[in-house]
């Protein structure tokens, strides 16, 4: 295990609320690390509607999801947070008063005085195809991510999907696999045109197979796949031998490990105190779409407000001796110095 | 006000009033039809509002746009009459529309 990373606050979730919390904490001299399961910041704004305009950010009549995410990154730059992307927080353990040890699925350990959960709708996780009897194969011969390419050397692989993930892994694994069969429901791909061309060239040269259809049935035993049946749109079925299947159907939001953290919940949402946005566990806060309280609105602007208020309470844990004097960025030289403008 | 009938995969039938100009997805959410998830809220980026358009209505509803067809790649058990309900706008011509929901929206 790697060494423990010590920080004031760990923020879980890099959507707009998590990013803005970095700003509000930074103004109070509180250092942050931020973990997000996606490989990029922006959360739902970047993943679900990067190009869609948002019309209800105060003072900004119209901005896209990606634009908002980019602007927030620019705004928090003076505070230089450390990002841990493509990782999921799996455990939170109380080791002090309050002091938390937080672990991720990538094997990292953090020690921090407060945790802010800004996890939106939960964690983005791969969609699992509804194929009857798929469960025993999962993580044994059906994988939703490639952790080590070497595991697929010399294997017959079935890769399913029509986007960049399916195409990229097809191109990356084709040279080392025994045979790659790409399965897609239609003969049109939404992935990058260059990848599509490369894949088509491999198919034309006979180096891999492309089957148009949907996986209908799996064969195998004890978690080991041996074949899959692929049904085309006219109902014809073809059986393909395979040792492993990699389905790529995009992501969906799941609550994930949060439900194991002994937090008071209401229908998959975390209950908070509305003056501090602290949960029932002192030092653990929840802001943005993931929390609930009387009158809650799932708006980005509400999450910004929640981040500002929770920072005040977090200050109390990080600097128990210091009295917090409220200041405005417009008039405080001290705040302006932190922002690098004075 | 046009009416839309949603038939869920378990056979539950809901016939509801639909506002002109709203999407079929929004109509489902306003009427608590839980088999329409609509994770992205109508952005055509999540494929969790998948429906099957009743054969009799296929011509009037029309085919998916290229971007909608591409997003259907992230749905399951996609058929010739599959659409994403966020991309179907309610018009007078769709009064009486029947759609069926799949057993699984990916979550």
pLDDT in tens, B18-50: 999 999 999 999 999 999 999 998 989 999 999
CB-based contact, B56 to chain A, within 8 Å:
no
Exposure b/e, A113-141, CB count within 10 A at least 16 = b: bbbbbbbbbbbbbbbbbebeebebbeeeb
**Within-domain flag for B27:** yes
- Same domain, yes or no: A114 and A133: no
Span A260-280, pLDDT tens digits: 999 999 999 999 999 999 999
pLDDT of the residue at A49 = 87
Q: What does the DSSP 8-state code read for residue A2?
A: P
What band does A201 get if pLDDT is binned at 50, 70 and 90?
A: very high
* A 183-202 residues inside an 8 A Cβ radius of B: 184-186, 188, 190
By residue range, what is the domain housing residue A172?
Answer: 128-249
- Same domain, yes or no: A211 and A307: no
Tokens 């005040």 identify what position? A312
Cβ-defined contact of A48 to B80 (cutoff 8 Å): no
- Same domain, yes or no: A234 and A133: yes
Contact status, residue A63 vs residue A69, Cβ threshold 8 Å: no
- Structure tokens given for A118: 């800004």
**Within-domain flag for B20:** yes
pLDDT of the residue at B84 = 98
Q: CATH number of the domain that B13 lies in?
A: 3.10.20.30
Q: Which chain B residues are Cβ-neighbours of A49 within 8 angstroms?
A: 40-41, 43, 45
Q: What is the C-alpha separation between B61 and B43, in angstroms, rounded?
A: 19
- As a whole number, mean pLDDT of residues A192-210 equals 98
Residue at which a domain ends, from A249, A274, A301 = A249
Q: How far is A1 from chain B (nearest CA, A)?
A: 33
* Alpha carbon distances (Å) from A25 to A9, A21, A30: 9, 6, 5
pLDDT of the residue at A342 = 86
Assess whether pLDDT exceeds 90 at residue A150: yes
Neighbouring residues of A247: CB distance < 8 A, sequence distance ≥ 6: A126, A127, A128, A129, A142, A144, A160, A161, A215
pLDDT of the residue at B107 = 81
Q: CATH number of the domain that A193 lies in?
A: 3.50.50.60
- As a whole number, mean pLDDT of residues A63-69 equals 96
- Same domain, yes or no: A57 and A150: no
Q: How far is A313 from chain B (nearest CA, A)?
A: 32
pLDDT of the residue at A2 = 72
Residue at which a domain ends, from A190, A224, A249 = A249
Question: Cis (ω within 30 of 0) for the bond into A303?
Answer: no
Assess whether pLDDT exceeds 80 at residue A77: yes
- Same domain, yes or no: A153 and A96: no
Q: How far is A49 from chain B (nearest CA, A)?
A: 6
Q: Which chain B residue shows the shortest CA-CA distance from A126?
A: B106
CB-based contact, A254 to chain B, within 8 Å:
yes
CB pairs under 8 A between A and B: 62
pLDDT of the residue at B37 = 95
CB-based contact, A162 to chain B, within 8 Å:
yes
- Same domain, yes or no: A119 and A143: no
Q: What does the DSSP 8-state code read for residue A61?
A: S
Q: Is A40 exposed, middle or buried (0-12, 13-18, 19+ CB in 10 A)?
A: middle
Span A212-222, pLDDT tens digits: 999 999 999 99
**Within-domain flag for B71:** yes
- As a whole number, mean pLDDT of residues A156-162 equals 97
Q: Report CA A305 to chain centroid distance, whole Å.
A: 23
Q: What is the C-alpha separation between A134 and A25, in angstroms, rounded?
A: 45
Q: How far is B91 from chain A (nearest CA, A)?
A: 24
Q: What is the C-alpha separation between A220 and B83, in angstroms, rounded?
A: 33
Name the nearest CA neighbour of A253 among A62, A6, A13.
A13
- Same domain, yes or no: A100 and A138: no
Sign of CA dihedral A209, A214, A216, A218: positive
Percentage with pLDDT > 70 across chain A: 100
Structural domain count, chain B? 1
- Same domain, yes or no: A22 and A82: yes
Assess whether pLDDT exceeds 70 at residue B59: yes
Q: What is the C-alpha separation between A51 and A54, in angstroms, rounded?
A: 9
pTM comes to 0.88
- As a whole number, mean pLDDT of residues A285-307 equals 98
Q: Which of A127, A130, A214 sits opposite B74 (nearest CB)?
A: A127
Assess whether pLDDT exceeds 60 at residue A229: yes
- Structure tokens given for A54: 């948002």
Q: How far is B64 from chain A (nearest CA, A)?
A: 14
pLDDT of the residue at A104 = 97
Cβ-defined contact of B39 to A121 (cutoff 8 Å): yes
By residue range, what is the domain housing residue B53?
Answer: 3-100
- Same domain, yes or no: A120 and A267: yes
Structural domain count, chain A? 2
- Same domain, yes or no: A115 and A257: yes
**Within-domain flag for B105:** no
Q: What is the C-alpha separation between A262 and A276, in angstroms, rounded?
A: 19
CB-based contact, B74 to chain A, within 8 Å:
yes
What band does A84 get if pLDDT is binned at 50, 70 and 90?
A: very high
- As a whole number, mean pLDDT of residues A311-338 equals 95
What band does B70 get if pLDDT is binned at 50, 70 and 90?
A: very high
- Structure tokens given for A175: 């040279």
- As a whole number, mean pLDDT of residues A72-95 equals 97
Assess whether pLDDT exceeds 80 at residue A341: yes
Span A126-144, pLDDT tens digits: 999 989 899 999 999 999 9
Q: Is B89 exposed, middle or buried (0-12, 13-18, 19+ CB in 10 A)?
A: middle
Strands A99-104 and A32-36: unpaired
* Alpha carbon distances (Å) from B58 to A68, A225, B66, B86, B102: 39, 38, 17, 16, 17
pLDDT of the residue at A52 = 87
What band does A1 get if pLDDT is binned at 50, 70 and 90?
A: low
**Within-domain flag for B94:** yes
Count Cβ atoms below 10 Å from residue A265 Cβ, excluding itself. Answer: 18
Sheet of A291-292, strands arranged across: A265-266, A269-271, A291-292
**Within-domain flag for B53:** yes
- Same domain, yes or no: A175 and A221: yes
Question: Angle of helix A16-27 relative to helix A65-76, nearest 10 degrees?
Answer: 20
Residue at which a domain ends, from A249, A270, A285 = A249
Q: Is A100 left (phi over 0), alpha (psi -120 to 50) or beta?
A: beta
Cβ-defined contact of A188 to B47 (cutoff 8 Å): no
What band does A330 get if pLDDT is binned at 50, 70 and 90?
A: very high
* B 77-96 residues inside an 8 A Cβ radius of A: 77-80
H/E segment holding residue A67:
helix A65-76
**Within-domain flag for B106:** no
Q: What is the C-alpha separation between A98 and A103, in angstroms, rounded?
A: 16
Q: Which of B39, B69, B77 sits opposite A252 (nearest CB)?
A: B39
Assess whether pLDDT exceeds 70 at residue B97: yes
């Amino acid at each position: 295990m790697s060494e423990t990373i010590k920080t004031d606050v760990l923020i879980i979730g890099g959507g707009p609320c998590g990013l803005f919390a970095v700003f509000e904490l930074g103004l109070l001299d509180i250092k942050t690390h931020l973990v997000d399961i996606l490989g990029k910041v922006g959360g739902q704004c970047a993943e679900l509607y990067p190009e869609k305009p948002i019309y209800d950010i105060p003072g900004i009549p119209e901005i896209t999801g990606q634009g908002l995410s980019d602007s927030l990154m620019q705004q928090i730059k003076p505070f230089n947070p450390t990002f841990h992307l493509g990782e999921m927080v799996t455990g939170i353990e109380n080791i002090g008063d309050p002091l938390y040890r937080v672990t991720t699925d990538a094997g990292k350990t953090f020690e921090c005085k407060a945790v802010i959960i800004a996890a939106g709708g939960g964690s983005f996780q791969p969609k699992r195809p509804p194929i009857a009897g798929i469960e025993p194969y999962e993580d044994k011969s059906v994988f939703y991510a490639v952790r080590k390419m070497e595991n697929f050397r010399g294997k017959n692989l079935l890769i399913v999907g029509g986007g960049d993930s399916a195409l990229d892994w097809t191109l990356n694994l084709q040279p080392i696999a025994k045979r790659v069969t790409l399965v897609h429901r239609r003969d049109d791909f939404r992935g990058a045109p260059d990848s599509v061309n490369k894949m088509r060239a491999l198919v034309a040269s006979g180096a891999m197979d492309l089957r148009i259809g949907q996986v209908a049935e799996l064969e195998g035993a004890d978690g080991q796949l041996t074949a899959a049946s692929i049904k085309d749109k006219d109902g014809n079925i073809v059986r393909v031998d395979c040792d492993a299947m990699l389905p790529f159907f995009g992501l969906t939001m799941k609550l994930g490990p949060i439900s194991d953290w002994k937090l008071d919940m209401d229908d998959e949402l975390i209950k908070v105190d509305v003056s501090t946005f602290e949960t029932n566990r002192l030092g653990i806060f929840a802001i943005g779409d993931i929390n609930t309280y009387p009158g809650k609105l799932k708006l980005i602007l509400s999450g910004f407000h929640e981040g500002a208020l929770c920072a005040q309470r977090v200050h109390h844990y990080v600097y128990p001796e210091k009295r917090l004097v409220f200041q405005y960025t417009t008039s405080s030289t001290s705040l302006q110095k932190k922002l690098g403008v004075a | 006000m046009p009416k839309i009938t949603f038939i869920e995969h378990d056979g539950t039938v809901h016939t509801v009033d639909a506002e002109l100009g709203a999407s079929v997805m929004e109509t489902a959410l306003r009427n608590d039809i839980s088999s329409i998830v609509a994770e992205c809220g109508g952005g055509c980026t999540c494929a969790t509002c998948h429906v099957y358009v009743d054969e009799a209505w296929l011509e009037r509803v029309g085919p998916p746009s290229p971007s909608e067809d591409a997003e259907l790649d992230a749905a399951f058990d996609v058929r010739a009459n599959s659409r994403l309900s966020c991309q179907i706008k309610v018009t007078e011509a769709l009064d009486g529309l029947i759609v069926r929901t799949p057993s699984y929206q990916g979550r």
